[in-house]
Amino acid sequence: MKIAKILLALIWLYVLFVIMARDFGRYPLAGNADELNYGWSGLSLLQDGKPFGWSYHNAYPQSWVFYDGIIDKTDQIGVGGRMVRPWLDEPPLFSLLAGGSAYLYGQKAWSVLSSGYIRIPSILFGMGTTIVLWLWGGPLVATLYTLTPLITFSSRLALPENGISFLFILSLYLYWKFREKALFIISILVGLAGLMKPTGFFIIFLFLFFEFKEKRYKQAVYLILRVLPFVFMFLAYYWWLGGPQALAILKTQGFRPTGWTSLGFILSTPIFGTNTDTFYDGWYIFSMLSAFILLATKGKTNKLVSYLGLSLLFGLGVVIASAGEQDALAWYRYPVFPLLSFMAALVIKEMLDNPTWWWGFLSIGLLLSSRFYLHNAFMATTSSGMFKAALIILSFPFVWFEIYQKEVFIQARKIFLLGVISCGLFMNARYIYSAFSIRCESITCPIQKEMFLSSLKLPVFWRLLVPSQYIIK
């Protein structure tokens, strides 16, 4: 029996990994200048010992600027800008991972790097996060994280927050399971997160809070001391490459203008790229609502909810303090995504145990949103008449129970809710798997090289995830 459970878990994880990785180098579309910056920085650091990248910060001396213009037009992508050497916007660890991946594939630094190559570390971090969530919260949590389109598309981008996201959720899991016994490993994870991006160092304050709350002051001091070597490595890297001028660059990066609309902007703009094009992923919005509903109803009585909620609010606080006011820097939010998925899973369990009409309203209104994105100029979306009919049919058991409160209608509610959730997840999987084909049908899009990870298929069942017109007969 135990072997059968392990086998089923491995099969389901494989399914999730295939969906997560499908076309990860092609969608989100290639040519993201922020992604390329990390690839350029790491690759040039490996090849020449000095990183370069684009930056418009005035803190860079003019003597560091060595090029201003378009680098290349490879694959219909023209990317460039004010190129500086050394590039010190961020510390080197994630850059070395992204650039190192491109290096292994023979890429040259002075080129438009293949997204498929530089995104490999991010997709591996995403898979690692899925495994941690499975071990901590079970298959539903891992499934929600992997099959929420906005979260999955975010996890593909070559940005350090995806590495921090994995290190953050792993730290939280270890602390929840082992408490102060895990602090030594957690200090290493915090240090690695800080070497990916300075905001990673902020994670230490959350664990210091936990330790001070339990009056374990000695352990808190040890935690600080163990993280300090990573802080010294961080500062040494900057001083080595930039000397005193590096401090001005750090100050410019660390003090973005923030303000009172920051949280409102986060809550009202579901985005995952570098622009303000909203992506109305109902599952992401549902996850956000779930977190606040759980905190309001069970934040004081349920230890797990309290722990997750406090960690979520801490993560949002870091975003508010560091991401800039109304700046389209969606990646600052990535480290809280696993927590949102965890809390959404807890709410779904609550919904199925107590299928009230308001859960039905939220589910019907939000969890079928991918049906809209499964269309383009050649594939129709649901007609207005069909949508209204579906809305009435799906709402019927919830409304009817308010009039005739009988056990049979409670069961009907559960069945309908389970159907909506299952249908929504299936449509999510379908869209994630085929997003590039759907979005780029008869439209010019940059086509990146296929890779082993991005071209994996599910035997036979892959046909269910691909619109019929894309299947070669």
CA–CA separation, 299 and 442 (whole Å): 49
Q: Which residues contact 79 (CB under 8 A, 6 or more apart)?
A: 31, 33, 36, 70, 71, 72, 112
Domain residue extents for the chain: 30-118, 121-343, 354-470
Contact 156, 163 (CB under 8 A): no
Residue with token string 């490879």: 74
Between CA 106 and CA 181 the distance in angstroms is 43
**Exposed e or buried b per residue across 203-214, where buried means at least 16 C-beta atoms within 10 angstroms of its C-beta:** bbebbbebbeee
Q: What is the pLDDT of residue 473?
A: 45
| pLDDT given at position 457 | 82
3-state class of 84 per DSSP?
strand
C-alpha radius of gyration, the chain, whole number: 23
The verdict on pTM exceeding 0.85 is yes
Q: What is the pLDDT of residue 77?
A: 55
Where the chain has pLDDT below 70, the residues are 72-80, 274-276, 468-473
Percentage of the chain lying above the pLDDT 70 cut: 96
What was the pLDDT predicted at 80?
A: 66
* 3-state secondary structure (DSSP) of residue 423: helix
